[in-house]
Structure formats: structure tokens, C-alpha cells
Amino acid sequence: MQVLMILSQIWKSGANIYLDTDDRVAIKNQNLIPAEVMQAAEQNFQSIDAWFKSWKDASSEKITLMKMVHQICGWQHNEKLNNWLCAEENSLILFNDWMIALANNGWKDIYEDYRQFENDESNKLAKELYINAVTYAKKGAGA
């Protein structure tokens, strides 16, 4: 089973799996995870650990984009990102353009890590998207 499929099922169950401050994979509300999903997670622990650690030194831009993908896929709800994309149609369109650029580069499966499909075009869109997100967040902070 793919790592992101396992993680998405854990998140959708109401539990949370994450990298803790000691760089160890941790789970909150493990009792909410269906037994077959927990078994798959245990069997794929090394891959799950590697996926989380691959994000450890990621930039704020990359983390924001990852959260956006998780939000749009329905894996992890992020109210601030949701509000922003609902409030700013141009940013939602830009997010769609970014996802299309990734798809044009071969990203066809949401359970496959999209980062391997990034290129100059998608990175340019991602940067613009992140700037829009930061601008929106700053407007909200000043209100």
C-alpha cells in the first residue's frame, strides 16, 4: 500500500500521525484507526518514517503547498487555507493551474508524492501561490 494512502486513511479516521519533536513518528488517537490500516502502517513503517523525514527541512513554501494538497484531497482539514481559497478566486485558479502543471509532468495519482513531478513551471506557480497565501495571512493578521 502506498505511504500517502495509509497516511490519508489515518488522518481521515480522526487520528493524527506526525513527526514529533524527537524526529519520531507519533500517533494521536490511535484507537480511531481501523485495524487493517494500522497493520498496513506497521508493515510500511520505514517508508512512512522516510516520507515524514523528507519534509523535515522543507521550506515554508513547500510545507504550505503540501498542506494545500492535503486539504484539497480531504486528508487533513486546514480552515485557514480553506478560507483563503474560498475568499480569493484568483488564488484558487492559481492552485488549479499548479496542479495542472504537476499533472502535465506526470502526476496522475494523489497517493504519489507530487514533489517528483515539479519543474520550473510548477515551481514558478508554487512561488506565486505561496506569496498570495502569505499576503492573505498578513491581511487577516492586521484586521
Q: Is the torsion defined by CA of 51, 54, 60, 65 positive or negative?
A: negative
Read off the amino acid at residue 78: N
Q: In terms of C-beta distances under 8 Å and separation of at least 24 residues, what long-range contacts does 76-85 make, across chains too?
A: 76/11, 80/137, 80/140, 81/133, 84/133, 84/136, 84/137
What per-residue confidence (pLDDT) applies to 141? 58
What per-residue confidence (pLDDT) applies to 42? 96
What per-residue confidence (pLDDT) applies to 43? 97
Nearest to 4, CA basis, from 14, 17, 20: 17
What per-residue confidence (pLDDT) applies to 142? 47
Rounded to two decimals, what is the model's pTM? Answer: 0.90
CA distance 107 to 136: 28
Cell of 142: 492586521
Nearest to 112, CA basis, from 103, 104, 121: 103
What per-residue confidence (pLDDT) applies to 139? 87
Tens of each residue's pLDDT in the chain, 143 residues: 699 999 999 999 999 999 999 999 999 999 999 999 999 999 999 999 999 999 999 999 999 999 999 999 999 999 999 999 999 999 999 999 999 999 999 999 999 999 999 999 999 999 999 999 999 999 875 44
Q: Which residues pair with 131 in a beta bridge?
A: none
